[in-house]
Amino acid sequence: MRRKRGQICEQRTMTEAFIRNKPGMASVKDMPLLQDGPPPGGFAPVRYARRIPSKGPSAVAIFLTTFGIFSWGMYQVGKGNKIRRAIKEEKYAARRAILPMLQAEEDERFVKEWRKYLEEEARIMKDVPGWKVGESVYNSGRWMPPATGELRPEVW
C-alpha cells in the first residue's frame, strides 16, 4: 500500500505517546512525569555501624586448646627423646662390649702384616750394608704403628 501526498497513514509504532496512552502530544515536555519512589512504608534503615558477629570459640577456649595441644606435643617429644636415648645407650654399650674382641683381632692382623712387612724389608734391603731390619728411620723415641694404608691395601 503506497501512501500519497497529504495522506496520513495510521501507523501503530511503539512511541512514548502510544505507551503512555496520551495521543496528540507535541513535545516530550508535555509528557507526564513518572518517577520512582520509595515503597509504601519507606526503605529499611541502612546499616552503617561495624558489627562483628560473635561466632566461634572465645579467646580463652582457643588459648586453652592451643596450650593443651602444645603440652601434649612436648610430652610426646620427651617420650621420643627417652626412647632414642635408651637406644643410643644400648648401641654404645654393645660397642663397648665388643671393642676388646675387635681390638684383639686387629692386633693379630697387624702382627701378621708386620711380619710380612719385615720379611719384605729384609729381602729388599739385604744388600745394603749397616741396614737393620725393623728399626725406625725416625729418631723420635716413640713407637708409632705404620700407616694403615701401607699394611692394608684392601681397605682402599
pLDDT, residue 101, reads: 94
pLDDT tens-digit series, residues 78-128? 999 999 999 999 999 999 999 999 989 988 988 888 899 889 989 999 998
Q: Is the pLDDT of residue 66 over 90?
A: yes
Torsion 11-12-14-15 (CA) sign? positive
Q: What percent of the chain has pLDDT over 90?
A: 32
CA quadruple 105, 109, 110, 113: dihedral, nearest 10: 180
What pTM value is reported for the model?
A: 0.41
pLDDT, residue 88, reads: 97
pLDDT, residue 90, reads: 97
